[in-house]
Amino acid sequence: MLRFAPSPTGDMHIGNLRLAILNYLISQQRNESFLVRIEDTDTKRNIEGKDTEIMQILEKFALPHESVFHQSEHLHMHQTLAIKLLEEGKAFVCTCTAEQLTTDRDNAKANKMAYRYSGQCFDVNKEEHANLKESGIPFVIRLKKPTEDIINHDLIKGDIKTAPNEVDSFVILRADGTPTYNFACACDDMLSGVDFIVRGEDHLSNTPKQKHIKTQLGYDAETTYAHLPIILNTDGEKMSKRDAASSVKWMFVEGFVPDAIINYLLLLGNSKAPKEIFTLPEAIEWFNIENISKSAAKFDIDKLRFINRKHLEMMDDKQLSTLFGFADADIGKLAKIYLEEVSTTKELEAKIRPIFSPKDFSGEWGEQMTIMAKIIAEAPMMKEFDEFKSYIMKESGLKGENFFKPLRYLLTGVGNGPELSEVYPLIKSYLLEVAS
């Protein structure tokens, strides 16, 4: 079982989308299910509507999931599992006050040591839990630290050993009864039978904790982890919300299409890909997560543009035309002519819109354009550009620059572009609208 576990706390970042794609892809390779878990336990950070947005994005990228749930729906389960650990003596109740913990942290810092929980409440037993509950004294539940090193054989980062003291006796249930991130995450992965996790390297330090939680809960199935390096912006810094290009929304606004974005994200850090341009179903055949480099990949907009253009070239003509409000293969073909100059659907739109917009008859060539428009309005339908050209030439008496310049303005709205002989056959059914 694989999963995508986004937090609904902001616009989806491309790093997150990359994780969704990879987890989905591996679920297909392993013939396993793919589920979506909205990690909404940190209620202060949730932003309303972001969960729906995430699901809409997954749909746009055609990453179907077997099931979806909000982590908060499992609150009761998380509490039950924490109490179970307490009753088994694997966890303990901690009544250390915030001031005490802060003092301990400050002391550790002053001595240049890593903070560790003092262990003061280690032996508080479960009977006291009942008394505490009654007395109203605030307490948290901590999981006892492991007795042995925890080893993670990470598919990208290699073997990582974590000593018991580094894992420490950490909090699993807060004073308000809510689970901490690590606890909720580990419980849910266990309950759903998630056995393969691809996530960001910012979670590397959480992994030993989550492995320890699952072991203590008696779950002995192995989970394979792959922690992906971050994506850097063009300045070589971590790509953050401040980089416009980091948001999936921005990519759509700029006119990048889902297939190209998937292609680009699967190439990131992957120098061993057998080809440069491919679709997700193709990648499922050969992609190997272990080929992803363990160092950070740099975001390269020019590469993305190149890949986007290739995918637009491969798109079905009629489908391409729908991006500009048509359902006509000829308009898709017309767009493809312009692909020699541009790379995104936004830029294509800027090329195609002037062709179908009202023309300006007040400019330098306005007089000749008026004459031609009148002739076109009364002319029969002509299939070939040569025939059309000769007809207008004869009827108008215009020639040379006096003919070609205004004709180009009349048919395309601009002064230069592809050969009119290429454009004409594709717009001839719209001629009355175009030449007006």
Would you tell me which residues interact with ligand GLU (CB under 6 A)? 5-7, 39, 185, 199, 203
Contact between residue 407 and residue 392 where contact means Cβ atoms under 8 Å apart:
yes
Of residues 94 and 296, the one with the C-beta less far from Zn ion: 94
Nearer to Zn ion, 10 or 119 (CB): 119
CB 260 within 8 A of CB 310: yes
Instruction: Point out which residues bind Zn ion (CB under 5 A).
Output: 94, 96, 120-121
Partner in contact with 94, chosen from ligand GLU, Zn ion, none, beta carbon below 5 to 8 Å by kind: Zn ion
DSSP secondary structure code for residue 239 in this structure: P
State the Cα–Cα distance between residues 277 and 258, nearest whole angstrom.
13
- Residue closer to ligand GLU by CB (options 38, 93) is 38
Closer of 5 and 81 to ligand GLU (Cβ): 5
Q: Taking the CB of residue 358, how many other CB atoms lie within 10 A of it? A: 9
- What SS3 state is found at 52? helix
Torsion of CA 369, 371, 373, 374, to 10 degrees: 170
Which residue number, 25 or 410, has a Cβ lying nearer to ligand GLU? Answer: 25
* Inter-residue contact 71 to 187 (CB < 8 Å): no
User: Could you give the CA distance from residue 284 to residue 271 in angstroms, rounded to a whole number?
Assistant: 17
Provide the minimum distance between the beta carbon of 239 and ligand GLU in the complex, in angstroms, as a whole number: 15
Residue 119 CB neighbours (<10 A):
14
Which partner in ligand GLU, Zn ion, none is near 120 (CB below 5 to 8 A by kind)?
Answer: Zn ion
Taking CB positions, which residue lies at the least distance from ligand GLU? 199
The nearer residue to ligand GLU, 66 or 349, going by C-beta atoms, is: 66
The H or E element containing residue 267 is helix 258-267
**In the bound complex, what is the minimum distance in angstroms from residue 148's beta carbon to ligand GLU?**
23
Q: Which does 199 bind (CB under 5 to 8 A by kind): Zn ion, ligand GLU, none?
A: ligand GLU
CA distances from 315 to 88, 107, 322 (A): 59, 62, 11
What is the number of residues in the chain? 436
Closest approach, Cβ 243 to ligand GLU, in A, equals 18
Classify 36 as helix, strand or coil. Answer: strand
Per-residue DSSP letters for 351-383?
Answer: HHHHHHSPP--SSTTHHHHHHHHHHHHHSPP-S
Of residues 94 and 304, the one with the C-beta less far from Zn ion: 94
Q: Which does 174 bind (CB under 5 to 8 A by kind): Zn ion, ligand GLU, none?
A: none
Selection from Zn ion, ligand GLU, none that 329 binds (CB < 5 to 8 A by kind) is: none
5 binds, among Zn ion, ligand GLU, none (CB under 5 to 8 A by kind): ligand GLU
Q: Residue 99 class from Cβ within 10 Å (0-12 exposed, 13-18 middle, 19+ buried)?
A: exposed
Least distance (Å) between residue 245 CB and ligand GLU: 19
CA distances from 11 to 135, 260, 344, 391 (A): 43, 20, 22, 56
Tokens at 46, concatenated: 């949730």
As measured in angstroms, the least distance from the Cβ of 324 to ligand GLU is 35
Q: Which does 28 bind (CB under 5 to 8 A by kind): Zn ion, ligand GLU, none?
A: none
Cβ–Cβ under 8 Å, residues 15 and 239? yes
Distance CA 236, CA 46 (A): 29
Q: In the complex, what is the shortest distance from the CB of residue 247 to ligand GLU, in angstroms, rounded to a whole number?
A: 15
Amino acid at 284: I
Among residues 172 and 339, whose Cβ is nearest to ligand GLU?
Answer: 172
Task: List the single partner that 96 binds among ligand GLU, Zn ion, none, CB under 5 to 8 Å by kind.
Answer: Zn ion
Which of the choices Zn ion, ligand GLU, none does residue 185 contact, using the CB cut-off of 5 to 8 A by kind? Answer: ligand GLU
Helix, coil or strand: residue 142: strand
Query: Measured from the CB of residue 268, what is the shortest distance to Zn ion in angstroms?
Result: 44
User: Nearest distance from residue 326's CB to ligand GLU, in Å?
Assistant: 39
Closer residue to ligand GLU (CB): 5 or 315: 5
Q: Which residues pair with 151 in a beta bridge?
A: 161
- How far apart are CB 5 and ligand GLU at their closest, in Å? 4
Q: Decide the pairing of beta strands 150-154 and 140-143.
A: unpaired
Owner of token pair 């000769």: 390
Residue 203 or residue 405: which is nearer to ligand GLU going by CB? 203
Smallest gap from Cβ 96 to Zn ion, in A, equals 3
Q: Which does 146 bind (CB under 5 to 8 A by kind): ligand GLU, Zn ion, none?
A: none
